Amino acid sequence: MPLDLSVQLAPKNKKGLRLANPVMTASGTFGYGMEYSQALDIQKLGAIICKGTTLEPREGNPQPRLVETAGGVINSIGLQNIGVKALIKEKAPVWAKWRVPVIVNIAGDTITEYAELAKKLDGVKGVSGLEVNISCPNVKAGGALFGANPDTAAAVTKAVRAATSLPVIVKLTPNTGDIAGVARAVAGAGADAVSLINSVKAMAIDISRRRPVFSNVTAGLSGPAVKPIAMALVYEVAGVVDIPVIGLGGIATAADALEFIMAGASAVQVGSATYRNPRAALDILEGIEWFMAKDGINKLAGIIGAARPAGKA
């Protein structure tokens, strides 16, 4: 019997967001997708999430923006991107010809900007859904400030929900004391799914200059170092919302991805692992298939939430 790895990430949405498999590439680590088409068959991925997109193009933060650390990488990109107009004109028409769904990650300084982005992307061919980034740690306004609090997170979600019929995923920050409260609030405000975690607040110091490495002082840590933190938060959130949860944070192997799925994630995103191995997401997908075949699991649904008390998804 052939394996069925398909997942529906927006069961409450009219359009739905059906993926052929649960392995997606995380925003900011896979460009606009086409950059990687020489390295792997991108059409085999479950979905691609493009770089965080703002209303106007952005140049991003001053260098340095990326520092390697034990078990991970600290980034301070500052939302460098081409802006939504160029995305609609240059990227979406290419995506429209692809089998793999592309989800656009959106970011703004104000709630109005998020709503405007959602409105502009509604009905654009080639855009299969939105991921609302209320968790960027590297900009002064918006970003993680919205995502740290249930009320503001819900307000952004509600505004986006009202502006589009596209499936809406809300990306959560670990840099809050109440991620379960934020998840519940965005689910109540109309999110179709949540993704977590974004990068963890971190910093580094340049001892020769006796100054912080990054212009914003703090930045965002991702990679294997954050995986156990992400796991605990995905497990927690999956227990309090009845919408699909997408797990990410340090996934570098199929075993990592399977852990997230058994913790209750319906899908996973591969992020900084792609820096080391551009094929990482596909290698992980193949590893999941191998595991399922080995254990006689025909449907992915058979292992989602398998590690939860009553096998609750």
Would you tell me which residues interact with ligand DHB (CB under 6 A)?
28, 52, 75-79, 133, 135-138, 198-199, 220
- Nearer to ligand DHB by Cβ, of 128 and 199: the residue is 199
CB of 132 to ligand DHB, least distance (A): 11
Give the whole-angstrom CA distance, residue 61 versus residue 78: 5
CB of 16 to ligand DHB, least distance (A): 25
- Nearer to ligand DHB by Cβ, of 52 and 126: the residue is 52
- Nearer to ligand DHB by Cβ, of 5 and 225: the residue is 225
Strand (E) positions, the chain? 7-8, 18-19, 23-25, 47-49, 66-69, 72-75, 102-106, 129-133, 168-171, 193-196, 200-203, 205-206, 211-212, 218-222, 245-247, 267-270
CB of 293 to ligand DHB, least distance (A): 35
- Nearer to ligand DHB by Cβ, of 25 and 199: the residue is 199
CB of 199 to ligand DHB, least distance (A): 4
For the question of residue 50 being annotated catalytic, the response is no
Catalytic hit among 115, 136, 168, 182: 136
Which own/partner contact pairs does 34-40 have at CB distance under 8 Å and 24+ positions apart?
Answer: 34/91, 34/94, 36/274, 36/278, 39/278, 39/279, 40/278, 40/279, 40/281, 40/282
Q: Which residues are part of the catalytic machinery?
A: 136
